[in-house]
Structure 1
Amino acid sequence: MEKRIQNSYLASKVMPADRAAAEILPGMIVGMSGFTGSGYPKAVPLALAARIEDAHARGEKFALRILTGASTAPELDGALAKVGGIDFRLPYQSDPELRARINRGEIEYMDIHLGQVAQYTWFGFLGKIDVAVIEVSGILPDGRLIPSTSVGNNKTWLDLADKVIIEVNSAQPAGLNGMHDIYYGTALPPDRQPIPLVRPGDRIGEPYLRVDPSKVVAVVETHGPDRLGRFAQPDDSSIRIANHLVEFFRHEIAKERLGQQLLPLQSGVGNIANAVLSGLRDGGFEGLTAFTEVIQDGMLDLIRTDTIRTASATALSLSPEGVEEFNRNIDHYHSRVVLRPQEISNHAELVRRLGCIAINGMVEADIYGNVNSTHVAGTSIINGIGGSGDFARNGFLACFVTPSTAKNGAISCIVPMVSHVDHTEHDVTVIVTEQGLADLRGLSPKQRARVVIDNCAHPDYRPLLQDYFERACRDSVGKHTPHLLGEALSWHQRFTEIGRMKP
């Protein structure tokens, strides 16, 4: 650890995790590092959970408002949720225990665009940050911090927190040093200035995080990997979705709306996203760039082969095999990967300037192009909107992908009306299922409905959708966006009652 903690003052703050956790008191607002399962604190949350459990055994109230970059891991979200230690959480989550408690109404959850979290905090909308708990991979002699595998909102938590706890994780590769770009040029309105980034690989900041040493109350030594799962191999449905998108991109190149290098790619997390990225490689594309939130295995493979020459993100979210590959060839990735704060990776100004191509998953889409990417039956949260809205609203293309059915055909992912709206019809340009692709640009609502039904719906549900649409066009009060209001959500109601959408 002497090589990892090079500042003598901060070295004097080294203590066990349980002593550090004692700095966190009931009712506090705590900003923690972590973005999509990487770069989260490994020891303090577990010690904090044990402390909370003991307090509850004594009949004392002890719960916290927890703010992060995105999802974390069982050692943080799961451990704290299990002992009843969270009463409010934002902006994104994926832990089963936390999700279950949110959906039972035991924890308040705010689903928010990831690009808005830092500015909302600076605006004072989310309250005063009492404590920041941040994982880093090292501390320099001058006290600056070498970020870990994710940056997320760490800059904001460090700037605004009254107290700071630093976890130094020696399991994170030393080769991360210099891979980050922390921009300190943001300001509050009306004093904002343009962000000077015009290419995905531009470096506009510095490689390290700053922290006021007087705010650091504890430094905790850890040695543990990020807890990231393995990605399944793309199935036939994912491959067909990828092929439809690749064909669409070739069509756009032929129409001269895209160049051979496309535009910077943004890709959501998941097996379909990995399949799409593999499809680009197999389709012969090269010299691509990415301006995205997360680099996962599919994108890492494209960087390894130089199909993607530059990738900007806020986190590395890799399987264990992906981590091994990254560590083994870290020098190769060091010159091609830039990790930034999420207020920059998801910034609307930059997404629009660069003209990103956004590719994100969804739960369902309706015939008019509205997309639900977060809820089951409109009531139960899955993970959250994440950064998909940051890119869909501001990018060059907003592509949403899903298989046409779920639960072995019991659910149609193309429905008359979505049960929850995350992305309105105004922000969605392309919908893709394994059945085909619907290009919604320049179409009226009724035109969109015909294209979505004909191209994206599963054959088992297509006649039902066509019947609904025809009757809505005939019987709806208004004819611009025809709906049968008493029937529009009947598919979801039927599923909750009998376990399938088909009558």
Structure 2
Amino acid sequence: MPEFDRIQCTALHSKIMTAEQAAELIPEGANVGMSGFTGSGSPNAVPQALANRIEKLYEQGKSFKIDLWTGASTAPEIDGALAKVNGIHTRLPYQSDPIGRKRINEGSMQYIDMHLSHVAQYVWFGFFGKLDVAVIEVAGILPDGSLIPSTSVGNNKTWLDQADLVILEVNEYAPLALAGMHDIYYGTQLPPHRVPIPLTKTSDRIGEQYLRCDPNKVIAIVPTNKSDRNSAFKAPDDSSKRIAGHLIEFFKHEVKLGRLPKDLLPLQSGVGNIANAVLAGLNDGPFENLTSFTEVLQDGMLAMLRSGKLANASCTALSLSPEGEHEFMKNIDFYRDKVVLRPQEISNHPELIRRLGVIAMNAMIEADIYGNVNSTHVNGSAIMNGIGGSGDFARNAYLSIFMANSIAKNGDVSCIVPSVSHVDHTEHDVQIIVTDQGLADLRGLSPKERARSIIANCVHPDYKPLLQDYYERALFQSVGKHTPTILSEALSWHDRAQRTGSMKP
């Protein structure tokens, strides 16, 4: 059988079965850890088979739900399929699926939004109870039972260590040439026995190439052949290009002042079109020999590796467009010694972020005039996606940068508001705010100085007079003068948008 080429551990050949058979082995109410990070390295056959099983049980009047733990967001075959049949009781730590979002916001699915660096250690601490089943995509199984990881690592090491039972999807689409690109570190310890992680450069390899897996835990192996869930990136629009331009000029200024080296510091970039526009700007910019210590490798970083602008990239997953995936697979031998894929407990480790001096660049939904950032909720109560790794980086980065277009919804929403409706990153963790209008450097500024800088540099012209008016009145009406706030108006813009569809009076 051709799948035996990928499954070299002969003791496990008897475990090969269909996805439907494997799904039957997952018990109702189980805590299930699945691989996947932004759609990369996600199992697809078993979750879909499980969703079909759940749907049939509901038709018979029977309830069946699991608690689903992952690395981050996953593919529609996991989040979308299981949410559609209402098969998830609790979801953690991050999701971006529209059906899952609907379930969470209507209250039929519980959601624990977490810093990604916390997940593995919380599971090791036992905070969430026992992990019953791990469902992991791999590229192959070696004779000793160890696993060739796929296009993401995420929390797979922890799932394999902690789960009572393991189901493996062996994806023949993932090239075996991925072998050697991963760095699986097994040296993390529980308190009070922790020791320093020996990583001092983004290119360091401190672990093993393969995932360890106890063959006695494996209850099913399902051969598959499917590409990752890849979303196309839009070409950078004018607003994104302006944001990128403001950042490039800021970096030049910091180098000139001696606050950044000529090759900058390791880059972290969130996912999305603005992030890729910034990376494209860096690729065309004056900086050479750049490095990256981030969560995901995007198309923009592939281009920088090809051009030589980026010397190496450390991440936990690929997050590529279909074109980016084709480029990566076609030239995987070129990328193998330039890209290292790590567990997310390493890629997002706060101490390593601080040690390396990372430049963190993340997206936001909104910021207020004092520098507090909301990156997760719409109008305070409806989750969009989650905090992901932005908090891991923002709190510990050498430079903490948040980016957004100054307006949304055809101008009916301002991304700069009197007070954010939900706080993910407090003013203490936010150093730089950038919109298409300009950049506000908040370092060393008091709250009132931050307000003046943000209003002057980042606000769209349609909203600048409104914010200026609010701030000037707050200076006189607020009881406390440290962070002037008119309590009755602080969230009035959100209230107006919810009632009328626009923040404008």
| TM-score bracket, shorter-length normalisation | over 0.9
Which of 183, 191, 199 is matched with 2:185 structurally?
Answer: 183
Structure 1 counterpart of 2:365? 363
Aligned residues: 503
Partner of 1:66: 68
Q: Shift in Å at residue 2 of structure 1?
A: 2.4
Amino acid across the alignment from 1:108: Q
Residue 305 (structure 1) shift: 1.3
Any idea what SS the aligned residue of 1:450 has? helix
Q: Aligned match of 2:308 in 294, 306, 309?
A: 306
Q: Which of 343, 346, 370 does residue 344 from structure 1 map onto? A: 346
Partner in structure 2 of residue 45 of structure 1: 47
Q: Which residue of 2 aligns with 1:398?
A: 400
Match runs of 1:150-299 below 5 Å: 150-299=152-301
Structure 2: stretches of 5+ with no match in the other structure? none
The code of the aligned residue for 1:21 comes to: A
- Assess if the C-alpha contact under 8 Å between 2:41 and 2:151 holds in 1: yes
Partner of 2:98: 96
1:415 to partner: Cα distance: 0.3
Of 433, 450, 468, which aligns to 1:466? 468
Separation (CA, whole Å) in 1 of partners of 2:6 and 2:161: 22
Q: CA deviation at 1:306?
A: 1.5
Question: SS of 2:410's equivalent?
Answer: coil
CA RMSD between the two structures: 0.6
Alignment counterpart, residue 135 of structure 1, candidates 134, 137, 155: 137
Q: Say which SS state the counterpart of residue 312 (structure 2) adopts.
A: strand
Partner residue in 2 for 1:407: 409
Matching residue's letter, 2:396: N
- How far is 1:286 from its partner? 1.5
How far does the alpha carbon of each residue in 1:234-256 deviate from its partner, in whole angstroms, 9 at most, with x for none? 00000000000000000000010
Q: Distance in 1 between matches of 2:229 and 2:271?
A: 15
In the TM superposition, residue 283 of structure 1 has moved relative to its aligned partner by: 1.1
Give the aligned residue type for 1:281: N
The one of 452, 455, 479 equivalent to 1:477 is 479
**Amino acid in structure 1 at the alignment position of 2:252:** R
Match of 1:436 in 2: 438
Distance 2:6 2:336 in 1: 19
Deviation at 1:10, TM superposition (A): 1.7
CA–CA separation in structure 2 for the residues paired with 1:11 and 1:383? 39
Instruction: Give the whole-Å Cα distance in 2 for the aligned partners of 1:201 and 1:341.
Output: 15
Match in the other structure for 1:85: 87
Contact 2:283 2:303 in 1 (8 A): no
Which one-letter code corresponds to 2:72 in the other structure?
A: A
In 1, distance between residues paired with 2:432 and 2:426? Answer: 12
Matches within 5 A, 1:320-339: 320-339=322-341
What whole-Å deviation, never above 9, does each CA across 1:67-97 have from its counterpart, x for those lacking one?
Answer: 0000111111100011110010011111111
Q: CA deviation at 1:303?
A: 1.1
Paired with 1:497 and 1:472, the residues of 2 have a C-alpha distance of 24
SS in 2 for 1:12: helix
- Report the Cα distance in structure 2 between the residues aligned to 1:127 and 1:92, rounded to whole angstroms: 19
Offset from partner CA, 1:185-236 (integer Å, 9 cap, x none): 0010000000000000100000100011111001110000111110000000
- Which consecutive residues of structure 1, in runs of 5 or more, have no partner in the other structure? none
Whole-Å Cα distance in 1 between the matches of residues 166 and 421 of structure 2?
41
Residue 500 (structure 1) aligns with: 502
Amino acid at match of 2:450: R
Write the mapping of 1:370-389 to structure 2, written as runs, cut at 5 A: 370-389=372-391
Percent of paired sites with the same residue? 68
| Offset, 1:498 | 0.4
Letter in 2 for 1:199: K
Q: Distance in 1 between the 2:68 and 2:262 partners?
A: 44
2:29 maps to 27
1:155 corresponds to which letter in structure 2?
K
- Greater shift, 17-26 or 483-492, is seen at 17-26
Q: Contact 2:357–2:397 (CA<8 Å) still a contact in 1?
A: yes
Deviations 1:299-335 (A, max 9, x none): 1111111211110000001111001100111111001
| AA of the residue aligned to 1:195 | I
SS at match of 2:117: helix
Q: Distance in 2 between matches of 1:416 and 1:9?
A: 63
Deviation per CA, 1:96-125, whole angstroms, max 9, x where unpaired?
Answer: 111111111110001100010001111111
Partner of 1:454: 456
What SS does the corresponding residue of 1:175 show, helix, strand or coil? helix
Q: Secondary structure at the match of 2:235?
A: coil
2:384 and 2:230 map into 1 onto residues whose CA distance is: 18
Task: Give the SS at the match of 2:4.
Answer: coil
**Letter paired with 2:270:** G
SS of residue matched to 2:15? coil
Runs of 4+ that moved beyond 3 A: none
Q: CA deviation at 1:12?
A: 2.1
Per-residue CA distance 1:318-360 (angstroms, 9 max, x = gap): 1110011001111110010000000000001100000000000
Deviation at 1:158, TM superposition (A): 0.3
Q: What code does the residue aligned with 2:502 have?
A: R
Task: For 1:291, give the aligned amino acid.
Answer: F
Q: Deviations over 1:22-49 (max 9, x none)?
A: 1111111000000011100010001101
- Aligned AA (1:249): F
Q: TM-score, normalised by structure 2?
A: 0.99
Mapped to 1, the partners of 2:430 and 2:200 lie a distance apart of: 25
Per-residue deviation at 1:175?
1.2
Cα distance between partner residues in 2 of 1:2 and 1:45: 23
Q: Does 2:117 match 1:115?
A: yes
Could you tell me how far apart the structure 2 residues matched to 1:288 and 1:12 are? Answer: 48
CA distance in 1, matches of 2:371, 2:237: 25
Deviation at 1:284, TM superposition (A): 2.4
- SS of aligned partner of 2:440: strand
C-alpha deviation, 1:142, in angstroms: 1.2
Instruction: Write the distance in 2 (CA, Å) between the matches of 1:472 and 1:114.
Output: 37
